[in-house]
Amino acid sequence: MGRRCCAVALAMVMVMGLASLTLARNYRRSMLSNGLGMTPPMGWNSWNHFGCDIDENMIKETADALVSTGLAKLGYVYVNIDDCWGEISRDDQGNLVPRNSTFPSGIKALADYVHSKGLKLGIYADAGYFTCSKRMPGSLGHEEQDAKTFASWGIDYLKYDNCHNDDSKPTERYPFMTRALMKAGRPIFFSICEWGDLHPAQWGARLGNSWRTTGDITDTWESIISRADQNEVYAEYARPGGWNDPDMLEIGNGGMTKDEYIVHFSLWAISKAPLLLGCDIRNMTKETLEIVSNKEVIAVNQDPYGIQARKVREDDEVWAGPLSGYRFAVILVNRGSVRTSVTAYWDDIGLSPKSVVQARDLWEHKTLKTRFVGNLTAMLNPHSCKMYVLTPIA
Residues tagged active-site: 161, 216
According to DSSP, residue 304 is labeled T
Instruction: Please give the radius of gyration of the chain, using alpha carbons only, rounded to the nearest integer.
Output: 21
How far is the C-alpha of 29 from the C-alpha of 309, rounded, in Å? 22
Query: Is the Cα torsion angle 331, 333, 339, 341 positive or negative in sign?
Result: negative
- Kindly state the helix (H) or strand (E) to which residue 313 belongs, with its residue range: strand 310-313
User: Could you tell me if 171 and 162 are in contact, meaning their C-beta atoms sit under 8 angstroms apart?
Assistant: no
Helix ranges, 55-158 (H): 56-68, 71-74, 107-116, 143-153
Which long-range CB contacts under 8 A does 151-155 form with residues at least 24 apart? 151/184, 151/185, 151/186, 151/188, 152/108, 153/106, 153/107, 153/108, 153/111, 153/123, 154/108, 154/111, 154/112, 154/115, 154/121, 154/186, 155/107, 155/111, 155/121, 155/122, 155/123, 155/186, 155/188
